[in-house]
Chain A
């Protein structure tokens, strides 16, 4: 079965490496001495980057290290201030001024955030903006798209509207679109952050396939496991400068992390060693739900959390873990059940009710539900507390500045100033701002839904440490993450969900990867 798939893939990628591979020069892309600055921020300072034919090359670095900027320079989204880009087979430096230029030169990109048109069909999305289909031939287009989907084993049909596909499938379509174009260089910018394990495997298979055909792949990710699984070589950036280029076997994981952080790191393992907050069996529940149900399609669920406890919801994508916490926070319309605080029933109809009861909620989708893009870092930090304080009582400038500066320092948010619009910050720093927003309200109970998605290792560790620290100070925290290790490291109790229903609860010795998997799978070991 697998072999058959590979065979199917051939016609589509034939064009990519039709000629015989040249042994003489294996470099397919060379970027040398790239500079780029935004106002006073030097995002890239003389970065060199080499990509060889038929390799998967990981581009690593912390948030704000310059990965995204380098990618955007290469794809023509930003124009570089200085430096040269060479492509194989072209004698002089190429000039890339727009994504179209990049595409013409055979540089295709799949971005972290899906950049397709949700209102169009899958087929339209695959072929949009492609010269050969300037005149629409619907039949041909749908047939072509059907073949591609079949080859890549993507579970959708050409005529389906993209918005009705799951996020994972949308991501796959974006990849299909990119690889189907005649590309020599394929850039995958965090493509796996919204895929589940099987889908990731599928993607890796595809990447290895392309590699065999001589395509150079630049792989940007925060998942170290994935780097060591598929990559041949690693380039590490730090603070806009090149830290070094390494063969994967020469750079053990520990060293990679310390290169990225620029200091000898006490490894992720120190987190494991950190004292996990054991919940006290005798204490009563701080918050408790009975048969709580919202209109977001979850089954009624019971849940409780004690003071100073860290627990989590786990389950596959779409199992309803986010919907549960959204119901507690009043983010979705609650249609039944009760919420109790310290044993007394409270009414939570909308987020402000939850906030007044001491609940904070860091949402899953940072871009849509978290940041308010055009507003400054300062305004983004103070907004929740301000709303709680009231319409007629705005903070003075001095107060707002004090709050913002305090949390910018406390969480180490990297920003030019508190006046900078939050949208110009890197993902991890945006997340820290949202975290600051809720810490500022001094909640008794903080819900963190995927706080570490799409952010770098250093910040991940920071956030996990912070969670444990806050809990030791008496804050109750619900921590949701797609990465099970992270949950195992921080949570003392896990609520397991399957098909929008709570199916089990694990604590103590039961907290192992295997137990979680088997509970999710439904007891079949």
Chain B
């Protein structure tokens, strides 16, 4: 009896928690796929063109392709919580940071025989550039108090042109195979590298949230800026910092993206990814007007979106119709997670409990 009480308290607590939304969405998708075609979850061992063993299957695809979104969702969650707005320039910023990596690796020749600089150097330079662009957004939002969506609209508009300009509008191609490891497979390891990169990012942010006050300060500033200031915080800096962190996330995603194809397409790379990243935050049950956040929920939200995309591909939804299908599912999820509906569910649950409890007592007697 005691344990049952605990269990029901646990359920009530979970129902009030925002993480329930992505979990339920994930479960629904899993159940749907189990019913439609259980082979969805099969993982095969195959060999790639280089003759190395690799794992393949829809699950691997989800984890692999979802990596970029997960990394972006981390930064986007912080920006959303601190500023109560979103950064819509991340797609364009990814194009820039990817372009920077290629530029450093290729030097002046767009089809180099050998790399002109170590990959790590290229990556670090792209990190600095991406963080500078993040800082640019951060200054506009935190210091000049421009609405985040308007401020980031600037880079959203200019970003892809800047990316093309960095490489003189050429499309460099890297022939060095080791550059492909970041978006593909490291020889001997059958799991796609992006999964590891995403994992590392998740671990880092978990450690940062645990061992620093980043989460606490970000939420305090997002909820009540004036009060935070009077408690000794510097709201301007906290907001600025969130954009710089997002810049770092952008650089990591940029590396994965250009590594996947060892080249770049300025107008297509990471297209519309900002909307998916914002959606991941929203699906995580986080308020888009800032304040409290749940990082785990955002990360799960990102995987839910990728799960959905992959599921739709599996059922042969044409790529041009994909967005429409996705929209329908998103509407359902967002409506279900709306506070009004959740309250309604909470009430329903209470009534069910009230209905069951007397019966059980009667049985016990």
Contacts and interface: CB of A to CB of B under 8 A. Distances in A.
Contact of B212 (A369, A383, A384, A392): A392
B213 A368 contact: no
Contacts of B224: 368, 371-373
A388 interface: yes
B334 interface: no
Given A351-B232, A355-B232, A369 B227 contact: yes
A387 B231 contact: yes
A329 B212 CA distance: 26
Given A391-B213, A391-B217, A394-B211, A383 B223 contact: no
A386 B231 CA distance: 9
Contact of B223 (A373, A388, A393, A394): A373
Which of B227, B230, B292 has the most A CB atoms < 10 Å from its CB?
A: B230
Closest 4 CB pairs of A and B: A352-B232, A387-B232, A372-B224, A384-B231
B226 interface: yes
A306 interface: no
B291 A370 contact: no
Given A351-B232, A369-B227, A374 B212 contact: no
Interface in B222-245: 223-224, 226-234
A350 interface: yes
A36 interface: no
Contacts of B211: 392, 394
A372 B227 contact: yes
A241 interface: no
B219 A374 contact: yes
A331 B226 CA distance: 10
A363 interface: yes
Nearest to A329: B230
Nearest to B219: A375
A379 interface: yes
B220 A361 contact: no
A369 B210 CA distance: 27
Contacts of B229: 331, 350-351
B209 to A, nearest CB: 9
Chain A interface size, as a band, is 20 to 34
Interface in B83-108: none
B328 to A, nearest CB: 32
Nearest to A371: B227
B19 to A, nearest CB: 16
Contacts of A238: none
Given A386-B213, A386-B216, A374 B230 contact: no
Given A350-B234, A351-B232, A379 B216 contact: yes
A392 B233 CA distance: 14
A368 B224 CA distance: 7
Nearest to A389: B213
Interface string A318-331: 00000000000101
Nearest to B220: A372
Contacts of B228: 372, 383
Contacts of A351: 229-232
A371 B224 CA distance: 8
6 contacts: A351-B229, A368-B224, A370-B230, A372-B224, A374-B292, A392-B213
A67 interface: no
Interface string A370-408: 111111000100011011101111100000000000000
Interface of B: 210-214, 216-217, 219-220, 223-224, 226-234, 291-292
Given A386-B216, A390-B213, 4 more contacts: A370-B230, A373-B223, A374-B291, A387-B217
A259 interface: no
Interface string A337-370: 0000000000000111001000001010000111
A390 B219 CA distance: 16
Contacts of B233: 352, 387
B232 A384 contact: yes
B234 A383 contact: no
A133 B232 CA distance: 47
A437 interface: yes
A374 B214 CA distance: 17
Identify whether the interface residues of B are mostly helix, strand, loop, or mixed: helix
Contacts of B210: 394
A387 B233 CA distance: 7
Contact of B231 (A390, A391, A437): A437
A367 B213 CA distance: 23
Contacts of A368: 224, 226-227
Contacts of B213: 386-387, 390-394
B171 to A, nearest CB: 43
Contacts of A387: 213, 217, 231-233
Contacts of B231: 351, 383-384, 387, 437
B230 A369 contact: yes
Contacts of A392: 211-213
A93 to B, nearest CB: 22
A437 B223 CA distance: 17
Contacts of A373: 223-224
A394 B216 contact: yes
Nearest to A361: B230
B303 to A, nearest CB: 26
Contacts of A379: 216, 220
A82 to B, nearest CB: 14
B216 A388 contact: no
A35 B300 CA distance: 40
Contacts of B230: 329, 331, 351, 361, 363, 369-370
A286 to B, nearest CB: 20
A27 B113 CA distance: 95
Contacts of A350: 229, 232, 234
B230 to A, nearest CB: 5
B219 A369 contact: no
Which of B217, B227, B233, B292 has the most A CB atoms < 10 Å from its CB?
A: B227
Contact of A388 (B219, B226, B232): B232
Contacts of B217: 387, 391
A388 B233 CA distance: 9
A374 B231 CA distance: 16
Contacts of B226: 368-369
A375 B212 contact: no
A374 B216 contact: no
Contact of A375 (B214, B223, B234): B223
Contacts of A361: 230
Contacts of A369: 226-227, 230
A379 B219 CA distance: 11
A505 B358 CA distance: 70
Which of B213, B214, B232 has the most A CB atoms < 10 Å from its CB?
A: B232
A386 B212 CA distance: 11
A327 B184 CA distance: 59
A351 B225 CA distance: 13
Contacts of A355: 232
Which of A373, A374, A384 has the most B CB atoms < 10 Å from its CB?
A: A374
Contacts of A383: 216, 220, 228, 231
A391 B212 contact: yes
A136 B248 CA distance: 52
A372 B231 CA distance: 10
